[in-house]
Structure 1
Amino acid sequence: MPCLPSRPFVLAAMLLVAAAGPSAAHFQEIIPSADVLPEGGKVALDLVFTHPFEGGPVMEMARPVEVGVLTAGAITVLTDRLVEAPRDGVMSWTLEHELAEPGASVFYVTPQPYWEPAEGKFIVHYAKVIVDSFASGEGWDAMVGLPVEIRPLTRPTGLWTGNVFTGVVTKAGQPVPFAEIEVELINDGAIKPPNDAYITQVITADANGTFTYAMPVSGWWGFAALMEGDSPMTAPDGTTVPVEEGALIWVHTNPAVR
């Protein structure tokens, strides 16, 4: 009679298999109430650190280092306007800002480093989103100057569902060849993936740091170019660990309705 493995051995093997499975992608959201304000006015932005396609879990987001907006070549720091907005029992944030003049405004967030024990690293995702006031179509490619940042080559506002989005991954202002980009939709639960492989799409930039992706459904799409930071950090246990730096940009698509 064959010898069956002990129950502790089976449990350990199951844990190893689970650990080897795909991990949920972290995305720093900075989502406005609209990507285009046809008549200008007030825009509200929600800042949440989460897994967009799966709708969670939401991670605790410490008060950001800086939140601001780039408009007409000038940066306005908005950190003092942040309001606590807990979601699913953990801290998230919101703010409002008035857009009185025509032109694109680039909202951005520099978050506190997030310690991810499951991956043994800190995560710092520099995220941005463009809001076009008075549907001007101007200024959407302005760069904030974040340590890592995506330069849009496609206007990131007023996009139809099915349009492609093209961008360039940069670090210290220079293109990053063959950067890996994770792509996720903020899913309200209506889309059921056939399996986990469909949750996070993965693409690679070319030798010039340029990537292109076609968005098949309507909603907010996040593009996260992930790179290892130049400076490691100290984990809670005192060990030196790597830092994942992410350059994120959010774009919205609408369906074409006759």
Structure 2
Amino acid sequence: MKHISSRVICFMMALAFYISLLASPLWAHFQVVLPSKNLVSQGDNSNVELKLCFAHPFEQQLMNMERPRQFGVVIRSEKINLLDTLRKKASGKGLNFWQATYKVKRPGDHVFFVEPAPYWEPAEDKYIIHYAKTVVNAYGLEDAWHQPLGLRMEIVPLTRPYGLWAGNLFQGKVLFDGKPLKNADVEVEYYNENLKIKAPSNAYVTQVVRTDERGIFTYAMPWEGWWGFAALTEAPERRKSPDGKRDVATEIGAVFWVKTEKGK
């Protein structure tokens, strides 16, 4: 048997690694911003606990999340910086996520938002930045859930994003640099917190719809719980790879989280 050089062995190992990547599913990434409740009523505890993480929601797999660049809430056109309220946490695998407590003080729609630091995804050879939002309504005053925040990319809900039943439709409009984003993929995943839902195959984990000419998409949510919608595009600019040697792409996403309830 002829001697096989170490260079050939390394090549074969690398080839096997990349084949394994192709054979394995690449789960969808979602920036998560989940409040402990999305409705605050009279007599409720006015504290809202928020969890920020970067994850595969259906599979409940965390990725490491660095400190966000922006985290705040908009209430009655006032933008409040909440970065200093964040508490860093670590999962059992040592992956960072973040928590915060916000005390609701006045009625109205509280639009929480986060801009994460760019996340390097080596399997896709690109950075990922997802601007995420969710709405908590306080004391029944519905005043701003449909207003854009002016984020670089965002989903503006056309369906009121609270008081939703399982089975309701959710409709949103995707804006990129303030303009409707047409023919864009919108990935949809269920936040399968207790892993009660089992997917019969990988195709069921992430649902995909597309925006129309006006940047609008629609999806019906079959189960009670939290649902994430992630509209995706590629930024026109390039960034340096972590080693500084290459110019690579950046995936820009707009994520919106809504909760549905089951009828009693």
TM-score by length of 1: 0.92
Secondary structure of residue in 2 paired with 1:92: strand
Give 1:236 deviation, angstroms: 1.4
Give 1:86 deviation, angstroms: 1.4
Corresponding position of 1:175:
180
Secondary structure of residue in 1 paired with 2:96: coil
Secondary structure of residue in 1 paired with 2:63: coil
Give 1:78 deviation, angstroms: 0.5
Q: Distance in 1 between matches of 2:24 and 2:97?
A: 28
Once the two structures are superposed, residues 12-69 of structure 1 have per-residue CA deviations (whole angstroms, 9 ceiling, x without a partner) of 568526415531111110000001111261111000111000010x111111111010
Runs of 4+ that moved beyond 6 A: 8-11
TM-score by length of 2: 0.90
8 Å contact kept, 1:106–1:142: no
**CA RMSD after TM alignment:** 1.9
Percent identity for Structure 1 against Structure 2: 43
Unaligned regions of 5+ residues in structure 1, if any? 1-7
AA partner of residue 240 (structure 1) = D
8 Å contact kept, 1:49–1:59: yes
8 Å contact kept, 1:181–1:225: yes
Is 1:83 the counterpart of 2:90? The answer is no
Mapping for residues 41-120 of structure 1, pairs under 5 Å: 41-56=46-61, 58-88=62-92, 89-120=94-125
Give 1:237 deviation, angstroms: 2.2
Number of aligned residues: 250
Match of 2:231 among 225, 231, 234: 225
Once the two structures are superposed, residues 165-191 of structure 1 have per-residue CA deviations (whole angstroms, 9 ceiling, x without a partner) of 000010111100111100000102111
AA partner of residue 30 (structure 1) = V
8 Å contact kept, 1:67–1:108: yes
Give 1:144 deviation, angstroms: 1.3
Corresponding position of 2:254:
247
Unaligned regions of 5+ residues in structure 2, if any? 1-10
Q: Distance in 2 between matches of 1:168 and 1:142?
A: 11
